Amino acid sequence: MVRAQVKSGRERLYVQRARSLGAGHLHILLRHILPQVLPLIGTTGSLAVALAVLTQAALEFFGLGGTDLLSWGTMIRFAFQRDAMLNGAWWMIVPPGLCI
């Protein structure tokens, strides 16, 4: 997505005008292309991090992750194995669930 946005921005009229006036590649990149692409990088990056956290927690919950690694998914799995909600120990599930 970022590559497509950069290629699209490279063909814009104001970038072509800056290039014809003698602006260098670094100037065009920092002044015209990067401000256009930066919001896309931020949103794509934050969504990728959220997806990675959810994937890791799900793998740990199902026991498919590392056995010596303590994570939010492992905490929730241990709470379910010990019937935490049936025993009224909601604090074993709710905080890791909120963090995820």
Q: pLDDT digit string (tens) for 47-97?
A: 999 999 999 999 999 988 877 778 899 999 999 999 998 898 889 999 999
Q: In sequence order, which residues have a C-beta less than 8 Å from that of residue 90 and are 6 or more positions away?
A: 84
Structural contact between residues 77 and 59, judged by C-beta atoms closer than 8 angstroms: no
Residues 6+ apart with CB under 8 A from 28: 15, 18, 19
Q: Which residue, chain included where needed, has tokens 């799995």?
A: 77
pLDDT of residue 63: 86
pTM: 0.68
pLDDT at res. 62: 92
How confident is the model over 33-46, as pLDDT tens digits?
999 999 999 999 99
* Domain spans in the chain, listed from the N-terminal domain onward: 1-49
